[in-house]
Amino acid sequence: MDFIRQFGVVLVIAVLSGARADKLQIDPLIYEEQLLWVSGGAGLVNTYRIPLLTFTTRGSLLAFSEARKTSSFDIGAKFIALRRSTDRGATWSPTSFIVDDGSLVDGLNLGSVVVDEETGAVIVIYSLCFHRYHCKPSITMMVQSLDDGFTWSAPRNLNPQLGLMSFLAGPGFGIQKRHPPAVGRLVVCGHGSLAGDGVFCILSDDHGNTWRYGGELKSIPYNQPKNDLDFEPDECQPVELDDGSIVINVRNQNHYHCRCRIVVRSLDGGESLPVEELVFDHTLEDSAVAAGALEKEGVLYFTNPANANSRVNLTLRWSLNRGKSWVKDTLKIWAGPSGYSCITSLKGNETVDHKYIYVIYEKGQKDYFESISLVKIDLYSDQ
Ligand SMILES: *[C@@H]1O[C@H](CO)[C@@H](O)[C@H](O)[C@H]1NC(C)=O
Ligand SMILES: *[C@@H]1O[C@H](CO)[C@@H](O)[C@H](O)[C@H]1NC(C)=O
């Protein structure tokens, strides 16, 4: 490497990692797109849904989804499908099924993936019998990989620790606290069953060995049938900000107050979700769907189908002030039918790790669940 190139690379890294990112113009561009799964009934799977995405501590990129065996419905038997990339998403392993629920009537549902940076473990939390449809109780399950996603443990039932409440993590990723309070804690947030809906977080202070319930934001009226416009916080994505708070972006199931996102903040490492810290983000129009969020180098990113009435228009937004407001520019990822999404990026040392984020999302021509697609987005396409 000659001096000029080397100097240039060092300079870019210094600017990107040292200064707050708002000094650089974010100008995102779709760099490449690949379909990871296509529904349509070939083979053992009818429909792929609920995409999750994470990097491992060794820099591999893991994509997960629900492989629904016989229909597109939320209930029914499923696999957890996994594809793995060791070259930052350029090429992918074939699909492997890391969990098979057999022929359950109310089978598995994803779920959250959380990576423990200290042990390297990749942990997937999912549920069985979440809807309690011809079965009970609902069971919160965990499976983990200690070898970068190659092999997976036998599934473990967490109900002896958590009790019998219906809980469905995510969908999205869980976090490991990097800033005080509670550094090292794993925080996985999700929602309750329909009547007992609300946002609940489960916490582990021992790398996923034991779990307990932390903060909760219950629906109103709790554990009772809902009317339209009742308060029903549902699927959610937590992110940790650099001040150590956890911001949870939440699906507003019954359009309470607005057709937009609920945002709630925990100041104590996920132990509580106080109503005083709850806001409705009117800029984030939403039809009640799971959305993606990510914090990277001082910038908060958000993806959803940006439409108040239907699942179309998958859009990336970004905020330079921790979500208080959103930059006016947006990146349209897909104008057509689009559903759930999840964002990740690598916290690595190389220039490319500062430059790219990855969004996995449900994408279709006619229906949003026709395929699951991955886009690699260049954040600084101008530089
Ligand atoms: C798509 O999202 C953008 C950004 O929020 C918005 O301006 C536009 O009206 C949306 N279009 C549709 C068809 O929902
Ligand atoms: C980044 O660089 C530091 C210091 O050289 C090193 O300790 C760390 O392992 C590197 N991280 C990655 C993800 O390569």
Summarised one tens digit per residue, pLDDT across range 237-274 is 999 999 999 999 999 999 999 999 999 999 999 999 99
Nearby residues of 335 by Cβ (< 8 Å), 6 or more positions away: 312, 313
Q: Whose CA is nearest to atom 13 of ligand 1?
A: 313
282-to-12, 254, 261, 316, 362 alpha-carbon distances in Å: 35, 15, 7, 16, 24
Cα distance between residue 365 and residue 173, in whole Å: 27
- With bands split at pLDDT 50, 70 and 90, how would you rate the model's confidence at 23? low
Of 19 and 113, the structure prediction assigns the larger pLDDT to 113
| CB 319 within 8 Å of CB 300 | yes
- With bands split at pLDDT 50, 70 and 90, how would you rate the model's confidence at 14? very low
| Residue among 345, 347, 349 whose CB has most ligand 2 atoms within 8 A, to mutate | 349
Domain ranges, ordered by start, for the chain: 2-378
Average of pLDDT values for 57-78?
97
pLDDT score, position 41: 67
Percent of the chain with pLDDT over 70: 93
Atom number of ligand 2 nearest to Cα 346: 13
The CATH code belonging to domain 2-378 is: 2.120.10.10
Q: Is 287 in the pocket of ligand 1 (CB under 6 A)?
A: no
Of 286 and 5, the structure prediction assigns the larger pLDDT to 286
Count CA within 13 A, CB hemisphere, residue 257. Answer: 14
> Which of helix, strand or coil describes residue 299?
strand
Q: Which two tokens stand for residue 380?
A: 């600084």
pLDDT score, position 348: 84
Peptide bond before residue 94 is cis, with ω within 30 degrees of 0: no
Q: Which of 118, 117, 122 is nearest to 146 (CA)?
A: 122
60 pLDDT above the threshold of 80: yes
Q: Is 330 in the pocket of ligand 1 (CB under 6 A)?
A: yes
How far from chain centre, in Å, is Cα 36?
17
| CB 219 within 8 Å of CB 226 | yes
Q: Quote the ligand 1 centre to 307 CA distance (angstroms).
A: 6
pLDDT score, position 40: 86
Buried b (16+ CB within 10 A) or exposed e, 211-236: bebbbebbbeeeeeebeeebbbbbbb
| CB 145 within 8 Å of CB 208 | no
Q: Is 315 in the pocket of ligand 1 (CB under 6 A)?
A: yes
Nearby residues of 172 by Cβ (< 8 Å), 6 or more positions away: 52, 112, 236, 237, 238, 290, 292, 293, 342
Q: Which of 202, 299, 293 is nearest to 251 (CA)?
A: 293
- With bands split at pLDDT 50, 70 and 90, how would you rate the model's confidence at 195? confident
Average of pLDDT values for 35-63?
94
Q: Which of 228, 235, 226 is nearest to 292 (CA)?
A: 235
Summarised one tens digit per residue, pLDDT across range 115-131 is 999 999 999 999 999 99
- Compute the mean pLDDT over every residue in the chain, rounded to the nearest whole number: 93
Q: Is 307 in the pocket of ligand 1 (CB under 6 A)?
A: yes
Summarised one tens digit per residue, pLDDT across range 269-315 is 999 999 999 999 999 999 999 999 999 999 999 999 999 999 999 99
Outline where DSSP puts E strands in 129-210: 139-145, 156-157, 167-169, 172-173, 175-176, 186-192, 198-204
* Lowest pLDDT segment from 9-13, 156-160, 268-272: 9-13
pLDDT score, position 339: 98
Three-point CA angle 240, 293, 172, nearest 5°: 90
* Lowest pLDDT segment from 19-23, 290-294, 315-319, 347-351: 19-23
| CB 53 within 8 Å of CB 37 | no
pLDDT score, position 3: 37
Cα distance between residue 112 and residue 132, in whole Å: 20
DSSP per-residue codes, 40-54: SS-TT-SEEEEEEEE
Average of pLDDT values for 54-59?
97
pTM for the model stands at 0.93
pLDDT score, position 378: 97
